[in-house]
Structure 1
Amino acid sequence: MFNYMIKKLLVLASSIFTLLASPGISNAQVRYDIFNIPDTVCTDHEIEPYDIVEGAQSYNWSFCPPNLSEFPTGGNQGPFAYFNNPTSFRLVKYNSTLMGFYVNSDGYFYKMRYEDGITGSPSHVKELGKVATTGRGIYPVYSGTKWHVFVIGGGEWNTSNLMRLDFENGLLQDATNVTSFGNFDSLLVGTNQLVVAQDNDKNWYGFTVNRNAELIRFEFGTNLESRPYITNLGTLHDNLKDVTSFELIKELDNWHLYITNKEESAVKRISFGNSFLNPIYVINYATLGTTVARPVGISITRDCDKYYGWVLSEGNSNLVGLVWNNSIADTPVATNLGNFIGIRKAQTLSNTVRENGGLYMLSANAIDQSISLIEYKPCDFATPAFKDQRLPPTFKYSEPGYYNVILTVDEGLPTVTTECQSIYVYPHPAITINTRDTVVCQNDTIRVQVMVFNVDSILWMPDYNIDTTVGHSVNIWPQQQTDYHYTIYFDRDCVVRKPLNVNVSKISADAGPDRTMSDGSSTALGGPNTSIVEGYDYKWTPLIGLTGGEWEPFTTAKPPYSITYYLEVSNDRGCYAIDSVSITVPCDNVTLPNAFTPGSSNSGANTFKLLNSQFSKINSFKVYDRWGKVVFETTDPNAGWDGTTDGKDAPFGVYVWEVDANCANTFERIIRTGNVTLIR
C-alpha cells in the first residue's frame, strides 16, 4: 500500500505539470478506489469486500482473475446465420444477461442474447431494422433511466442516416421508439464507426468519421433523446483515413479515443483531455513494430495496474496484444498473438466482457460469416471464483500465495473502471479433526474433537443437539441431517470456518401393537413405522408359531400360547433397531370353524377339527346331526370330522358340536357347544 501511495503521488504530480503545459488535457492518470479488502489473510479465511462504489451499470468481480499477460485461448464457433459482413459489434451486460448488438454491411442491425454464457451459442436473435443501404457503426448506451441503441450508416448523401432506438422496458423487450435523424446536410456520408458517452459536464456527445476522413461530433446536451447539434472537427491532420474501429476510454477524468486505420495499418490515439470540447491532439503509434496489418478492430480494458488491448488485423488474420504498463496515454507494448482462434479474414472485433471470472471477446469473420471466441480463463483457487453483483458473498482461497481481486464496473462502456487489489494469503495452522463428514445412527451420540494449537476460541453452530457450542470437543446427537460448522479464531484476519456434515441413518423397527387373540387363530405381525429400505436386514424371533417368513419386515404367526415376538432391523452402517409385540392367547374358549366343505382343495377347510393349541386333554369331541345322532366322536386333539357318517357322505346342513377339554397350563375344564354348517 505504501508503494502504491508513492506511485499515486508521483502520477498526480505529473498530471498537474501536464495540465499547466496543455490546458484541459491530462496524460498522467491514477486509479479510483472503488472497493477495499484486507491485504493479508490466511487460507480459508472468508473475505468480505467493503467501501464498494455505488451506482454502476454492471459489477463484475473476479477473485481469481486470468493473467492477461499470457496467451489467450479460444476457437472458431462456426458460421452464424445472421451475419452478413458485420462492421460493428458491441457486447453489454443487461442485468445478468449478456447481449450482443451488431450491424451488417447491408445496413440491417440485430440484437441477440447469450443465455448460456458467451461460450455458448447466441439465441433470441432479432432484427431491429435497417439504418441505410450500408451499416457502419452501432453503440448501445444507458442514459441513467433507459437504454438506447445508436446506429449509423449510408454510402451516399441521400441514404446516410443516424438512428436512435429507445428501450423503455429494457433491452430484453422490443424498442419503444425509433428516431431517424438523417444525414445532417450530408456531413454523415460514408460514415465509419460510432461512439456515444456522457462527459464530465453531464452533457452527452457522440463521434463518427465520414467519407472525407473528418471527425464529426454530435452534441445532445443533457438529454440523450434530443436531436443533436453537429460539428465537423476536420481531418485532424489527415489521421482519419479508412477508420475501421473505435474504442473510447475514460481514465480519471480524461477521454481517449483509440482508432484503427485500415489503409495505413496503424493504431492511433485521439485525446480530448477532460472535456470533449477541448482542443484535440492525435498520437500515431503506426504499426506498433509491424505487427498490425490492415486492422479492423480494437478492444481495451483495465486490469489491475495496467491496461490491456487487442487489435485484430484483416491483412494477416492475427491478433495483436497491447499492454500499457501505467497510463492509457502511454505507448503500448505490442505482442503478436497469432491466429489461434480460427480467424478467417477478420471483419470486426467486439469489446471485452467479463463473465464467470474470465475475460472474453468475439471476432466476426468475413470468409464464412463465423464467430471466433477469444478467452482468458480464471484460476480455480478461490471460492467462489467470480460474482456479478455489487455486494458479493464472502470468498476465500484454498491455497497460499499472492492473488489479485478485480472489480470491473460499467464493462463495455466508455466509463469502464477496473480496480485491482492484491492480497497475500498465508497458510493457516494445521487443523486435525477426528471425524469428517459422517453418518450416525438415529439416537446415537458421537464425540467430535478438533486438534489445533494457538487458537483463541472455537465456536460451533448450530446450537442443535450439541452439549456445548464452545471448545475443542463436543458431543452431538442429531435426529436429522445437520450441517454443523466450527469456526476457529486464530487472528482477526485468520478466522477459519469449517463444515461438518452429519447425516442420520434413520432406522426403526415396528413389530405392531400388542394384542389378545383366541387360541388357535392367526395374526399378522409388523407395523407401519418399520424402515423399508433396500439393503436393510430384518429378522423375527422366536420362530415358534411363525407361519410367514422370518427375514421379512412383515410376517404371520399362529402362536400356540401367549408369546412375545421381536423384530430386529439393521443396515450396513451398523445401525440397529428392535421392537416387540406381545400376544396374549388365553385358554378360555374353544376355537372351531363355523363351516367346512368336505373334499375341498383347501386343506384348512375340508375337515372340521379343533384349532386350539393349549388343550392338554380332550375328554370328548362330538358332532350331532339334526336328530341328535352322533355322526363323529373322538378324544384325539388332532383328529377331525371328514363329513361322512357310516361311510357315506353326510348331507348338507347344520350340525351341532360339543367339546369337553382341559387346559394344559391351568388344568381348567372347558365345555362348549356350537353349530357348524357342512357345505357340499
Structure 2
Amino acid sequence: MKPRNYILIFFISIFYITVGLAQIQVQVRIDNATATTTCADNPPFGGPDVYWAMRVNGGTWDNYPSQGFCPFFYDVPRVQYSADYACPADVPDSIEVCFNVYENDALLPCFINSDCSEIICLNFAIPNVGTTATNTLTLPTGLSSGGAANFTILTNALTPAAINDSICQAIDLGVLPYSGVLGDAAVSQYSNICATSNGDINTIPLGIWTNEQGVWFRFTTGAQVSVTNVFANNDPSDLGDTMDVQVAIFRASSDCNGTLTLVDWYGLEDNTYDATLQPCLLPNTTYYILVDGENTSPETREGYFSLALASYGVSQSPNRICDAMPLGTIPDAGNISTGMTNANHCADGIGDPANIGFQSQNSVWFSFYPPASGHVIIDVTSADTFPLGIDPIDLQVAVFTTFNDTCLGQKRKIIAVDNTYFPTETIELSCLDASRKYWILVDGSGNNTLPGSDATGVFSIDITDAGILPPADTTFINPVVCFGSSFTLGDSTYTQDGLVYEIFKNIDGCDSLVTGPLDVLDTISISIDTVQLASALGAADGVLQALPVGGTGTGYTYQWGNGQTTQQVGNLVGGDLMCVTITDGLGCSNSYCLEIPYVFEIFATIINDTLNCYGDTDALAQIIITSGQPPYNYNWEQVGNAAVMGSGTITTNGTPTFINNLAVGDYSITIVNQYTQKAFVANISQPDSISIQPTVQTNVSCFGVCDGEILIAPSGGTPTYQYNWSPNIQPLPHLTNLCADDYFVTVSDMNNCTNTIQITITQPPMFVATATQQQPVSCFGGNDGRAVISTTHNAAAYLWDNAETTSPATNLTAGNHFVTVTNADGCMDTTAVQITQPSAPATTITIVQPIRCDDSNDGIAAVAAQNLTPPLSYQWSSGSVGSTAAFLSPQQYFVTITDALGCTTTDDIILQAPPPIDIAYLKTDITCKEGETRGSIFIDTVFGGQPPYQYALNSSDFGDYTIFNNLDVGAYRLEVKDDLGCVEEYPIAITDGTEIYVFAGEDYIIELGEHVTIDALTLNSNIVFSWSSVGILPCVTCHRIEVQPLATTDYIIAIKDTLTECIARDTVRVQVSKEEDIFIPNAFTPNNDGFNDVFMILAGNSIALINNLRVYDRWGTLLFTAQNFPPNAQEYGWNGKFNNQDLNPAVFVYFVEATYIDGAKIHLKGDVTLLR
C-alpha cells in the first residue's frame, strides 16, 4: 500500500469522528466581486492587473480570480471557510470577513507585488441553523482601489440539532390534517443532545417524568379533529446515538408564554425506547410537545429520534345519549354503514343507564329508526391492529328505547352483548316499531380478549333490514291508574300518560307484544261551599257542602270527620277543624280540611287625614274593615254640621273605602251588615297659615352700588320652604348685593301652600367729581404739570394715578391722568384730565468731511436743532463746544444741546472709515518643477480702499503691473496704494525647496533562505515612498520592507516631495550566498531511548523539500524510502527496521534528493552506521 493511501484513510477517519461530534457547520462561500483601481501597471506593460482577495475569521488571504495553474488563485463560487460546532449554543454570533482589492505589479506569473492595496474588514451575523445569509462587503469610495464582494454564510445541520430548546423556540410541525401525517416516524430528524431544561415547565408536580434535556415542538388542529397517534421513535435512522424517549403533550392558555395544561404523556423508566401517545385533541387549538430522554444514563437521556403525528380521519363519537349520532331510518331491504370512522378514546361512562349487563366506562351513542319490517341485524366491528388498521377495541354493545322516544325519557334496555374473542358483535332484533327511535351504546371491555385490543378503539356500525318475520301476537291494553300511582308491565314500570310497550319472548318467531295507552287520572280536587255560618264561635249551627272534581268524575263517596257520609252536613260547631275524604269509583281518593266558619264582630280601621294647606276642603277619610261578614252599608256626617253627610257600600274585608272632599273637623261613621252594626269616628286636621317677616332690610350705601341686603323668616304651613323672588334672583331666604328696587317674594311650603309680600331697597343721591388742568408741562418730557378737582358734595380723599393724594396735583407729566375721589359716605367717583407740553425738539447731524483712510482722524460733523428757545449751547463727546466738531476718527459721537429755558436734547452719529486695503496673492517658491527656476509674486485680488490701485516691490516706483517674476530667494515688501493715497505693506518670502535626501543603509550579504529588513530614512516631510526591484515586493509604498531574495538583488527606494516634486533615490544590494545547508548523520542508535533513534535529514532555511530518501544495504536491497517531505521531520525518518523487523548493526548506503527554496535541486549520497 502506498503512503498516500494511508494518509487518505487517516483523513476519512478524522471526518467520521468530526461528524460524530459536531452537529452544526458554518461555511462562507465566496460568490463574486467587482474590483477597480486608479493605479497603472508598473512596469507599464499594459493596463492595470486588478485582483481581489478574501480572508475569513483571521485565516489566510485567498486571491481571485484564478490565474491559470497558479496556486492560491481561485475561481468563484468557492467555499473558502468551514468550521464545525458541537451544539447550536457553541456557534458564535458573528464572523469577521475581510475584502482586499489591489493592482498586481509582479513581473512573474503566480507571484504578487501588490500596489494600491485597499482593505476593509467587518463582522457579519451568522444565521440560524438551516438558513443562509447573503452579504455584500464594499470598500469606501475615494480610495485608490474599490469594489464590492458578495458572499454567503451558510449554517448547516450535519446531524439533527436541538435548536428548539425552549417552548418559544418550538419547531412548528404545521396544521394537523383530518386524515394525514405530520413528520416521519422512520427518520432520525431531531435530537436533544444540546438541550437543557432551563426555563421549561417543572414536570415533577405533574406526576410525570423529570425533564432533563427536553426539546419542544408545536402543532395546530383544524376545525375537525380525528383519532391521532403521536409516535416518537428512538434513532430509527441508526445515526449511532440512541435514547429512551419520553413525551408529554400540553395545551397553552394563549401563546408559548401562557399557562400550560398537561393533555397526555408517556415514558417512565421502562426502557421501551419508543413512545406512542393517543391524546384527546380539541379543534382549532395549538398544542406543544416536549420530548426528553429517560435519565438513567447519558446513553438513555440524549440522542436522536423521530417525531410523527398520524391522523386517521376517524372522529370521536358522541359521549352522551342526547348527543347521539343520528344514523337515520334504515332503508327497506337496505342497510346503513358508518364505515371505520368511529372511536371512543375520549369518552367516559357518566350518566349511562345502570344494569346494562356490563360496566360502562368509555361509552358512545348512536340512534336509528328501524325499517318497516321492524327486523334488523346490527354488526359492530372492531378495527384491525396498527399498521394494517388503526386501533382495535374489545366491543360491548347494548340497544335501548325510551318511554317517550326522547333522550330524557325513561330508558329501557332491549338487549346487551359482550362476547369475547370476536372482532364483530352481531345483534338481531325483531318486532321494532318503525315510528320509534332506538339508541345503540358502544363500549369496550378492556379484557383484551381480542388480540391487541383494549377498552378504546376504532369501529364501524352496519345496520341491515333483515326482512319481515311472520306476524307476532299483539295484546292491546288500556290500563288506568290513580294520580301518583304506577303501572308495571314486564320489567318496566310507568308513571306517566303514554304508550306502554313490552315484548315477551316467543320461541315460535317474533316476540309477543303487549301494548296500549296508559291513562293516569287527574288528582281529585275538593272545594267547600258554606251553606250557613255558625252564629258565633262555638255555636253548633253551621252547614257545609263538599264539591269534588277529577279522578273518574263519577261514583264519589264522602267521609266527614264527625262520621257523616252525605255531601252536605249540618250542626257544625263554629271554629272547629273539620276534614272530609272523597273517593271516586276507581278507589282513588283525596282529603281536605278547614275551620268551620262563623259570624264575626265588625272591626274596622279608620285612617284620618290632614289637609295640605290652611282652609283646604280636599281631605280623605279611609275605612278598612278587618273583621266581619260582608257586604256592609255605612253612613257618615260631620259632627256639629248634619248638613255635611253621605253613605255607601263595602263588599269585601280589607279593601280600603274613601270618603272624599272633607274639611277640617270630626266625622261619625256607622257600619252595618246582615248580622250586626258598629259606630266609628274620623278626624280631619289642617296646618297653620304661612307668615313672612323680614328680619334684615339694608338699603344701598352709594348711588348705583348694589350692596343692599334682605333676610326673611317664614313660619306656619308645612316646612321646608321654597322661595320665588321678583325680580328673579336666587331662591333663598337671604339675599345680598341687591340694587335699589322693589322686591316681591312668594314662600311655598312642602304642600305647595303660598304667601307673598313686597320689600323696598333705596339708595342716596349721585356723587360726581371734575378735574381741570391748572398748568401745562414746561419742557418736552417734563413732570411739572398741575390739575385741580371740584365735586358735587364734600370730598374726603383723592388718589391720582401717580400716587398723589392732594388737590391740586403738582407733579404731572404730559398726557391723560386719572383720579379717584371719595366723599364722607365712602362713595367714590373717577375722572380724568389731559396735561399738555411743548413740541419735541428735533436735531440733524451731517458729515461735513468723511474720514479718508482707515487709520486717519480728519472727519468733520455739524448739528442743527429746532423747537428749542435760543440761545443754544452745544457739548460734543469729543470735547468740541460749537455746532461743528472736527478732527474726528472712526467711532460714535454724541452731542447735547441746551436752550434758554434749560430744556435739553441729545443726538449721536457714527463716523466710518473706508475698509482697509487687503490683497489675495499667489507666491511661487523655487521648486523642481519643469520650467520653474525662479520665484514669483502675483497679485490676484485687492479688497478695500478706493480703486484704482498701484503696486511697488521693495520701495520701487508704484505702477499698474500685478506680477513680479525672476525673484531670488529672500524677503520682499509688497506695497499697495489706492486712489486716495492710502498705502498698505505686505512682507513676502521666496524660499528654496529643492534639497531632499534618502538613505536605505549599507548592502547586505545573506545565506539563501534568510530574511533581511531594509529601512528608508529621510528628514524631509510631505514624502511618498516607492520601492522597485525584480521579483515580489511585500509593500511598494512602505518605508520599511522585509525581503527573502532567492538570488542577489538590488532594491531601489525613491522618495518624492509632494510639494516641490523633487525626487531622491538610494539603492541597496542584497547578495545571496548559496551553500549546502544540509546535514546527514553518519550514525544512529534505534534503541528507543529517545535520543538519536531515527535516521533523518536535517537542513537550514534554504532547503524547501526533501524529494526522495532511499536506504540500501550492501547488497543493494532497498530497505526504506520516503518522498516529498519537509526537512527536520522525524516522522519521515528511518527507524532501522525492514519488514517491521529490527536490523542488526551494520553500515548502510543512503541517497538523498532535495530542493532549494529557489527551485534548484541537490543530490547527496553516503553511508550511515546503525548501532545498538
Q: Whose relative contact order is higher, 1 or 2, with alpha carbons under 8 Å and at least 6 apart? A: 1
Q: TM-score range by the shorter chain?
A: under 0.3
Whichever of the two has the greater Rg, that structure is: 2
Q: TM-score scaled by structure 1?
A: 0.25
Q: TM-score scaled by structure 2?
A: 0.16
